[in-house]
Amino acid sequence: MKQAMLAIEVRQQHYQPVLSIRTRTDVTRLPDLIADSYSRIGAYLNELDIEPEGAPFIAYYNRDMNDLDVEMGFPVDDVIPGDRDMCPGEIEEGRMVTCMYVGPYEGMKEVYGEMHRYIEEKGLQTKGPAYETYYNSPEEVENPEELMTRIDLPVY
């Protein structure tokens, strides 16, 4: 990880409607589940003639790699009806400790560690899920060093 390039800060998150799928899985199945979920949600949004309001995200409600509780989805302009396991939801308004990480997914563990140190130093506490927003994917870049992921940790 390039320590000098790691900018951690607090930002204000506005209320953000989303359309997402929440499920449980083990980490080995996660890549296929992500691809399938994004594809299905994208097709449904296309069917409704609705454009996502930003990059796709995953909310991690726990860190149990054998039984991950995850929510995968897209931000949307307004609450829209769900379909089967696709449900309307929201990213709550509030403060987030945030970091734009550029690099391979394997390096994110260190970033989380730095973010948690920052939270402790600032006297904050985490609440709710950890969010990862993906601005590109391994299919879009040749080098994993070019992957761009914003990590957001809700705090109070």
* Domain locations in the chain as residue ranges: 3-154
Q: What pLDDT, on the 0 to 100 scale, is given for residue 141?
A: 95
Residues sharing a CB contact under 8 Å with residue 143, sequence separation 6 or more, in sequence order: none
For residue 26, pLDDT beyond 70: yes
What pLDDT was estimated at residue 5?
Answer: 58
State the average pLDDT over residues 22-41. 96
Q: What is the mean predicted confidence (pLDDT) over 73-94?
A: 97
Q: Which amino acid is at 27?
A: V
123: left (phi over 0), alpha (psi -120 to 50) or beta: left
CATH 3.20.80.10 fits 3-154, yes or no: yes
Rounded to two decimals, the pTM is 0.93
Work out the average pLDDT over 59-81.
Answer: 97
Where residue 41 falls among pLDDT bands split at 50, 70, 90? very high
